[in-house]
Amino acid sequence: MKKYLFFDDYSEGAHPQILEALIKTNLQQEAGYGDDIFSGEAKKLISDIIKDHSADIHFVSAGTQSNFIILAGMMKPFEAVISADSGHINVHEAGAVEATGHKVITIANAEGKINPRKIKEVMEFHKDEHMVKPKVVYISHATELGTIYTKNELESISECCKKNGLYLYLDGARLGSAVRSRESDLTLPDITRLVDAYYIGGTKNGAFLGEAVILVNDEIKPYFRYHLKQRGALLAKGRLPGVQFRELFRDGLFFRIAEHLNNMADRLACGIRDLGFGFLVKPCTNQVFPVLPDPLIRALDELYGFYVWEKVDKASSAIRLVTSWSTREEVIDGFLNDLKRLVNR
Amino acid sequence: MKKYLFFDDYSEGAHPQILEALIKTNLQQEAGYGDDIFSGEAKKLISDIIKDHSADIHFVSAGTQSNFIILAGMMKPFEAVISADSGHINVHEAGAVEATGHKVITIANAEGKINPRKIKEVMEFHKDEHMVKPKVVYISHATELGTIYTKNELESISECCKKNGLYLYLDGARLGSAVRSRESDLTLPDITRLVDAYYIGGTKNGAFLGEAVILVNDEIKPYFRYHLKQRGALLAKGRLPGVQFRELFRDGLFFRIAEHLNNMADRLACGIRDLGFGFLVKPCTNQVFPVLPDPLIRALDELYGFYVWEKVDKASSAIRLVTSWSTREEVIDGFLNDLKRLVNR
Amino acid sequence: MKKYLFFDDYSEGAHPQILEALIKTNLQQEAGYGDDIFSGEAKKLISDIIKDHSADIHFVSAGTQSNFIILAGMMKPFEAVISADSGHINVHEAGAVEATGHKVITIANAEGKINPRKIKEVMEFHKDEHMVKPKVVYISHATELGTIYTKNELESISECCKKNGLYLYLDGARLGSAVRSRESDLTLPDITRLVDAYYIGGTKNGAFLGEAVILVNDEIKPYFRYHLKQRGALLAKGRLPGVQFRELFRDGLFFRIAEHLNNMADRLACGIRDLGFGFLVKPCTNQVFPVLPDPLIRALDELYGFYVWEKVDKASSAIRLVTSWSTREEVIDGFLNDLKRLVNR
Amino acid sequence: MKKYLFFDDYSEGAHPQILEALIKTNLQQEAGYGDDIFSGEAKKLISDIIKDHSADIHFVSAGTQSNFIILAGMMKPFEAVISADSGHINVHEAGAVEATGHKVITIANAEGKINPRKIKEVMEFHKDEHMVKPKVVYISHATELGTIYTKNELESISECCKKNGLYLYLDGARLGSAVRSRESDLTLPDITRLVDAYYIGGTKNGAFLGEAVILVNDEIKPYFRYHLKQRGALLAKGRLPGVQFRELFRDGLFFRIAEHLNNMADRLACGIRDLGFGFLVKPCTNQVFPVLPDPLIRALDELYGFYVWEKVDKASSAIRLVTSWSTREEVIDGFLNDLKRLVNR
């Protein structure tokens, strides 16, 4: 029995305040399939926060679902999406995008991120009908390595996309943690202005499940509920994500949870750094990738749950530690104490 | 503001006992993607009840999702599924099955049901590679008209499928209501023995969401989690359906809810019959289709929420009334009183 | 060894004039993938004849290929095509349209044809995102039963489609025979004006292979070569259909062949009618469906190749006889003599 | 007007001997869709030459069509194909494989080729249902760079595939040139023994069109004609490739053409080498990639048709020269003279 699991940010249920909201609304009869009053109010709250009242908002149950439905909805059969080779859609979605008929064109990532130069190279290479036609750029923010884009970076990608007739889509599974990172100069309204579509992840930010899909570009708004229904994403009790997102955005809970994730990750990273260890990439959101000696990792594994991410050199590897809404300071401090003890053993 | 909504069985949240289970388990850290202890226990409980310990069980979030993932998993690209023309996959899933590449071959339904003679006709018609190859028979139980198959009927369909090399798949969105119908001589173990795959619907039987997919035939078991992941059905917090199904099957809650649905529907149907009205089809599960004069329907519509199903003749139509886990006797009695009053007006 | 095969209009090679054109052009070096001079000239000739110089024209190798590529190119993932239940795309293309992800909605045919009333019924039924969204109407001309649309009929379907935001697509596998039918008041320019896309069938009108896809509506023209390439329809030696269509439309060969098909079919039908037999539908193109006594059919089957189409009553069936570019008068007369002899036996 | 086009091996019609065969067989009535006597005889001849009488053989019209139909037929929805990044299916088929729902996993190529070590790395990386499951290895022979696999190399790839439960599929668009390369120690029977499926390219080896699909592994044989029909590849006049392949394999024409391609390419390569130029890769089949100074390329481009393949350094690029069945010695010698003259200018 491990002391604590740092595997991911979805090892527990929902934040107590969300549970409370579900209890309170439970008996109220409402229309199905997202036409309930709770979903309506949640959409209104999100519109206010992203400062775009003409954006279309839909709630779905999971991130892979958001990604492939939105991307498939943006493309004609012969069009393709550009992604970092480390992108979730390229590696960890079991070919969900390809299953809708579209190629994922990959770009070598730099700490999980891509840039306009690489996008332009892809555009220059794809020049006639013997090749797919690139139509969307996919980025994740925070990335799969916990890194984030700066405002400057996102603006240059956005501009490059506009120049090349490309949609820009942002996977926000961990968007809360990203926008509340102390390294971040990007706000939700900034992102809304710079991308064509994105989603705000609820599952990894305190909800039981739920992602808020935000369609900004008018071209991709029409008939989106048909896409949702056809791909199995229209929940009969659409109130379930609705109530949760209403609660997340009613009084700032979404951001408080995001800040908690980051604070706990920061506490963890500082403690590890103080012990003299480095990181695969500089930590700034709720995923921390310390590089540790392999024997230490094995010892740590007896006490805590986490993934060994990759070999770094002969004697050491990077591990991934993720904080969640339920991670308490005491847990972090306990982990650091154990780590210190094992180091000094 | 309507007095009560009889639109469907998903207008409220979850049964209080399920909510309670979610609260109790909320803080316990568990693996994601359905590998949690709650899902494991739920599967064990279901195995016991269906009397098949070698069946593979998976939890997904919705009925359309269950249908197209299972069906697509059963078929080669050129294979097709046979369904009643009234079948949910044919009418109300926005082409989800076709979106996976497969044709739905339709049979004229008889009160929502199909029979071996019609299946044989389809088999005789499809004779070479210029046509699709029928591979699966899809039935719903209860059907979209609230009717159910008898043991004899299901056995004959099952036998016909085996003879013709067809899989038999049963859509159990309202399976609880079906197996607890007083007209039913079919049990879950019977169904498990007679079909190749089915799902037990949770969403319409007291859960927030969740369908338990049961794979009986060994041929369709391997790699099913790949299908789930690729189609966006693998929930990060897989515990959410897991906890709910564990609670539904721990002490018979699933069946108590099903019986409640049926009792309330029965009370409703008897009261309507006593007022001299008939039904589109004889009621036996939680969907009741009374045929009422159009002016009466309009008056009723001021007070209650329901769907007008279809015109029956010049002056009358069938409406659909659905009971849910939250429907109380007082609501039924109030409805019947209002109906009586409107009739006598 | 049968005396002659009336199975279909593709039992021989190509018309000698087409073979001659292939021989003459064989050594001339030309660009691949349809950018050759022959294809260019063929397109120009067709533009002149259909009286639409802004239509986009592409050559593909087969009818099923034309159908599913054009239809898939016209639709978003949740959109569907309306077809007669007897339509080639519904019955005899092995689910090719569904394999591209789209549902075929069927209408009960009347002698192979559909009408605006039936289309309107489909439109009224499909009213929200739980159902597919009808987007295209598919008709074949001549139909699978050899019947043809009148100008009046096609105009009313075209108008109905425009009113309902539907594209109209015409499968012209046997378009030559249709427009040269003595019952026809529809010309190629009429058809071009009334539909959004269609194809002119070459394979069944004297070519080795080749269908000329005509895209009339501007919305469906862009990037069509991407669709062709992705679906495997862009022939490296695109000159092969190009040379053939240039020859077919250079000096009226296409129409002379069509007239020959019809004349031979007419001679056949008249002779059969003179012997006192009726037809499944009144013959007017190169497919003739006489209704004959079953013993006579069996006797005829010893001498000639043809398909038994369907049982008409206990003692008789309709057979299908098809004429081709190679069918000579002597063959028809021989067949009629044999039939007379067998009748009088 | 250019003196000669070296763009590709499909700039002319068909080899005269093939044209002759089409003329001779033109009037003979035969069954459609590949059930004709010519196709039957062609299959028998190929069976003899590949020394496998249990292989299933089908004729299709083009290479992209062969590739995606065979690959899609080999895979379950979540399975993927491994290819060199330079592979035709990855770069030049407009996403045809992805359009059937499957991911192409890429391996960095070495002169167009892949090896077992790279395949093993892919297998180790793809370890659970969050990722696609690799199922097929795709290789081209000759490759897109004109290189070929040795017997030793193909055996080791084949063994690696068997060990890892992978099918091995070989794209033989230029298989004639490959097996008749003077560098080749691989025969058609060797290939048949080592792969699960492949195709013998006719289009680039003298035919108007046509590729002979060879299914070796019993698992992929059943129902293949359904795949062909559904993907639009079943030609009505199936005799067209049938007659051509019968002629190609009746008296060795296929190999004579292949040898001619190689001899002409060799003459070209030797002449270029004699002038002191090198090659992007060592030439061994009918594609030659000389590296020339950019000004020389520009001058050459006035006289001959060819593709500039890639920049090699600041001042020079590789061009692609391809020989065809119609390339005569005089053309090669003329080209070399012109090149010499331009060099010495």
Class for the domain spanning C4-10+254-344: alpha beta
Average pLDDT over residues B293-300: 98
DSSP-assigned states of every residue in C181-242: STT----HHHHHHH-SEEEEE-GGGT-SS-EEEEE-SGGG-TTHHHHHHHTT---TTTHHHH
Type and span of the H or E element at D311: strand D307-313
Query: CA-to-CA distance for B273 and D329, rounded, in angstroms?
Result: 95
- Which is it for the CA torsion A135, A75, A109, A200, positive or negative? positive
- Is the omega angle on the peptide bond into residue A258 within 30 degrees of 0, that is, cis? no
Under a CB-based contact definition with an 8 Å cutoff, are residues A306 and A7 in contact? yes
User: Are A211 and A66 spatial neighbours (Cβ–Cβ below 8 Å)?
Assistant: yes
Helices (H), chain B: 16-25, 37-50, 63-74, 88-91, 96-99, 116-125, 151-163, 175-179, 188-194, 224-230, 239-250, 253-274, 294-301, 329-344
- Percent of chain C at pLDDT exceeding 70: 100
Tell me the pLDDT band of B115, cut-offs 50, 70 and 90. Answer: very high
> Is C16-252 in CATH node 3.40.640.10?
yes
B193-247 pLDDT, tens digit per residue, is: 999 999 999 999 999 999 999 999 999 999 999 999 999 999 999 999 999 999 9
Please report the sign of the dihedral spanned by the C-alpha atoms of residue B198, residue B204, residue B205, residue B207.
Answer: positive
E strand residue ranges, chain C: 4-5, 56-60, 79-84, 104-107, 133-140, 167-171, 197-201, 211-215, 287-288, 291-293, 304-305, 307-313, 316-322
Domain ranges of chain B: 4-10+254-344, 16-253
Please state, in angstroms and rounded to a whole number, the distance separating the CA atoms of residues A71 and A63: 12
- Confidence grade of residue C1 (pLDDT, cut at 50, 70, 90): confident
Using 50, 70 and 90 to split pLDDT, how confident is the model at C340?
very high
For chain D of 345 residues, list the mean pLDDT of each consecutive stretch of 10.
96 98 97 97 98 98 97 98 98 98 98 98 97 98 98 98 98 98 97 98 98 98 98 98 98 98 98 98 98 98 97 97 98 98 93
What ipTM does the predicted assembly reach? Answer: 0.97
Structure tokens at C201: 């069938």
Write out the two tokens for C145. 């039963």
Q: Which residue of A has its CA nearest to D93?
A: A130
Only one residue has tokens 């003595």, namely: C182
Dist. CA C215–CA C57, nearest whole Å: 6
Question: Residue B99 to residues A61, A203, A214, C71, C76: CA-CA distances in angstroms?
Answer: 20, 27, 24, 14, 11
Could you tell me the pLDDT band of residue C249, with boundaries at 50, 70 and 90? very high
pLDDT of residue A25: 98
Q: What percent of chain A has pLDDT over 70?
A: 100
Q: Do B235 and A30 touch (CB under 8 A)?
A: no
pLDDT at D260: 98
Rounded Cα distance, B215 and A60, in Å? 26
Distances, alpha carbon C231 to alpha carbons A116, A197, D178, in Å: 31, 29, 27
Closest CA to C109 of C92, C88, C125, C85: C85
Tally A–B CB contacts below 8 A.
155
pLDDT value, residue A88: 98
Radius of gyration over every alpha carbon of chain D, rounded to an integer in angstroms: 21
- Distance spanning both ends of chain C, measured CA to CA: 22
Question: Which amino acid, D340?
Answer: K
**Using CA atoms, how far apart are residues A243 and A210, in angstroms rounded to an integer?**
10
Q: Hey, how many other C-beta atoms are within 10 angstroms of the C-beta on D293?
A: 13
DSSP secondary structure string for all residues of A26-42: TT----STT-SHHHHHH
Chain D residues closer than 8 Å to B129 by CB: 223, 225-226, 228-229, 234
Superfamily of domain A4-10+256-344 in CATH is Aspartate Aminotransferase, domain 1 (3.90.1150.10)
Alpha carbons B342 and B332: distance in angstroms, whole number: 15
Give A31's contacts in chain B (Cβ within 8 Å): 7, 11
Q: Which two tokens stand for residue B240?
A: 């959410």
pLDDT band at A162 (very low <50, low <70, confident <90, very high): very high
Structure tokens at B326: 């939250």
Domain C4-10+254-344 shares a fold with domain C16-252: no
Preferred mutation among B64, B226, B243 to probe A, highest tally of A CBs within 10 A? B64
> What mean pLDDT is predicted for residues B319-327?
98
Q: How many CB pairs under 8 A join C and D?
A: 156
Determine the Cα–Cα distance for residues C95 and A186; give it in Å rounded to an integer: 48
Is the CB of B78 less than 8 angstroms away from the CB of D129? no
Alpha carbon D268 to its chain's center:
20
Model confidence at B113, pLDDT cuts 50, 70, 90, reads very high
Q: Which of B7, B8, B103, B231 to mutate to test the interface with C (most CBs of C within 10 A)?
A: B103
Classify domain A16-253 at the CATH class level. Answer: alpha beta
Host H or E run for residue D118:
helix D116-125
Query: Which pLDDT belongs to residue B142?
Result: 98
> What's the whole-number mean pLDDT along residues B307-333?
97
Return d(Cα D209, Cα A207) in angstroms, integer: 58
Task: Identify the pLDDT of residue A1.
Answer: 85
- Predicted confidence at residue D345, as pLDDT, reads 83
For residue C143, give the nearest of C95, C181, C99 by alpha carbon: C181
Find, among B131, B198, B122, B194, the residue nearest to B164 by Cα: B122
Q: Is the pLDDT of residue A223 over 90?
A: yes
CA distance C52 to chain A (A): 25
Query: How much is the pLDDT for B175?
Result: 98
Distance from CA of D37 to the nearest CA of C (A): 12
Instruction: Name the residue of chain B whose CA is nearest to C64's CA.
Output: B130
pLDDT at residue B345 tops 90:
no
Phi, psi of A200 (to 5 degrees): -100, 115
Task: Please state, in angstroms and rounded to a whole number, the distance separating the CA atoms of residues A83 and A79.
Answer: 13
Contacts of A5 in chain B (CB under 8 A): 29
User: For chain A, how big is the Rg over CA atoms in Å?
Assistant: 21
Angle of the A151-163 helix axis to the A116-125 helix axis, nearest 10: 20
Q: Which residue of A has its CA nearest to D102?
A: A98
Res A48 pLDDT > 90: yes
* Residue of B22, B29, B199 for testing the chain A interface, max A β-carbons within 10 Å: B29
Residue D112 Cα, gap to closest chain A Cα (Å): 18
Residue-level pLDDT at A263: 98
Residues of chain B found within 8 Å of residue A11, distances taken between Cβ atoms = 29-32
| pLDDT of C345 over the 90 cut | no
Phi, psi of B255 (to 5 degrees): -75, -35
What is the distance between the alpha carbons of residues B115 and D154, in angstroms, rounded to a whole number? 53
pLDDT above 90: residue A258: yes
Chain C residues lying within 8 Å of A78, measured CB to CB: 223, 226-227, 229-230
> Distances from the Cα of D327 to the Cαs of C158, D244, D272, D336, in angstroms?
52, 20, 17, 14
Percent composition of chain D: helix, strand, coil (DSSP 3-state, to 5)? 45, 20, 35
Q: What is the pLDDT at residue C55?
A: 98
Q: Please write the tens of the pLDDT for every residue from C29-44.
A: 999 999 999 999 999 9
